[in-house]
Amino acid sequence: MIGPSAIARFRSNVNEDKSARYHRLKRRAAGSSVALNAVLLALLLASGGSVRLRDVAIRASGAEADAAGTIFIYVFLLVSIQVLLALPLAIYDGFLLERRYGLSTESRGEFVRDYLKAALVNMVLALAATEIVYASMREWPRAWWLASSSAFACGIALLAGLAPIVLLPLFYRFRPLDRQDLQDRLKTLSQRAGVRVLGVYEWGLGAKTRRANAALVGSGRTRRVLVSDTLLAEYSDDEIEVILAHELGHHAHRDMLTGLVVEAALIASALGLSALAVSLLWRPFALLRPSDVAGLPLVVLVGGALMLCATPVLNLLSRYHERRADRYALALTARPAAFVSAMRRLGTQNLAETNPSRLALWLFHSHPPVEQRISAAREFSRDSV
């Protein structure tokens, strides 16, 4: 006779096979996306296509190669090409795979609308970033990378504060949480953690995905708790509380500030390396001057390569922060059973990869595997007795 434990192990193995296949395909899609962009930029540089694109922008703007109008048109054309080339792969990765593995709940039309909205946001950010870089090149030819990275650090901090009220509402519906008992409980938890929040909101995640999530987003006057409708529908208040306590742990330990400092240092390093590459290669690539916007693919390729190489280190730091936030949540709530059940359910519902290879862990995982988090929680519980 097959007992309940054997059935549970069977279901776990089936889910592991499913999640492993899913994440393997997602990694292939992500790698293909990076390779597609890199090949496009490299071809534009090597073939002279970037110079021809700049000439089109110069004729349209009637200005110099590093003028704001020329830069605007060049970036608009370049990003438009990237968006169109990436669309088939984005549909496969973000829609077809999600549907195949039972995670997506949105229609193809809704997905394309979100993709185009995201492309528009990325277009605006790319235009702003490129204008900053080339304005810095004009004003400070030797130190433009330092001026640009300083501006980017300020911009990232500003976006972190504005995201809950400007960016997230473009893609999701939010409304004040109408479960007063839970709202009071989460606010009390935030007060105990010493993190001031201005509201608790239901996050309409279910219109797009079957995943469940909670977050503490924003800073200062925009800080708020988000609890997905998919979480509210199926999880107990104790489970929701420990999930939020984990998010509070990040704020209590100032992980966002640490992340900002690390990201600012990486951006400065990437732009510094790009500045060196531009100073050495602007003539071989037939640029008019180092500040010629036709050199943008070189800046992105060199800087992007450094950021890509830093990914394992960033993932390592992130996993450390996640483990520390787990311990904080356990200490704050004293609900290890709720933590374990929440992690187990989230892992299954979100199709988390429970036992990734060491290589996959280093290259792709910003969170510890679910089973490691559960084992750590049980060990924490034993040590606390």
Query: Residue 141, SS3?
Result: coil
How far apart are alpha carbons 2 and 8 in whole angstroms?
10
Whether 372 and 276 share a structural domain: no
Whether 138 and 187 share a structural domain: no
How far apart are alpha carbons 256 and 252 in whole angstroms?
10
> At which of 293, 309, 325 does a domain end?
309
Kindly list the distances between the CA atom of residue 60 and the CA atoms of 204, 297, 311, 345, in Å, as whole numbers in the listed order. Answer: 43, 20, 39, 55
Q: Tell whether 43 is covered by a domain.
A: yes
Whether 302 and 356 share a structural domain: no
How far apart are alpha carbons 378 and 384 in whole angstroms?
10
How far apart are alpha carbons 258 and 278 in whole angstroms?
30
Average the pLDDT over 9-13 and give the result.
Answer: 48
pLDDT at 113 (0 to 100): 94
Q: Are 331 and 191 in contact (CB under 8 A)?
A: no
Q: Tell whether 2 is covered by a domain.
A: no
Whether 83 and 228 share a structural domain: no
Q: pLDDT by residue (tens digit) across 368-384?
A: 999 999 999 999 888 76
Whether 353 and 374 share a structural domain: yes
Q: pLDDT by residue (tens digit) across 31-46?
A: 999 999 999 999 999 9
Q: pLDDT by residue (tens digit) across 134-192?
A: 999 999 999 999 999 999 999 999 998 888 889 999 999 999 999 999 999 998 999 99
- Predicted TM-score (pTM) of the model is 0.89
Q: What CATH number does the domain containing 234 carry?
A: 3.30.2010.10
Strand partners, 228: 203
Domain total of the chain:
2
Q: Which structural domain range is residue 345 located in?
A: 174-253+316-384
Whether 202 and 332 share a structural domain: yes
Whether 162 and 276 share a structural domain: yes
Question: Token digits for 355?
Answer: 């036992």
> At which of 285, 309, 333 does a domain end?
309
Amino acid symbol at 234: E
Q: Tell whether 11 is covered by a domain.
A: no
Whether 131 and 148 share a structural domain: yes
How far apart are alpha carbons 56 and 228 in whole angstroms?
46
How far apart are alpha carbons 45 and 63 in whole angstroms?
22
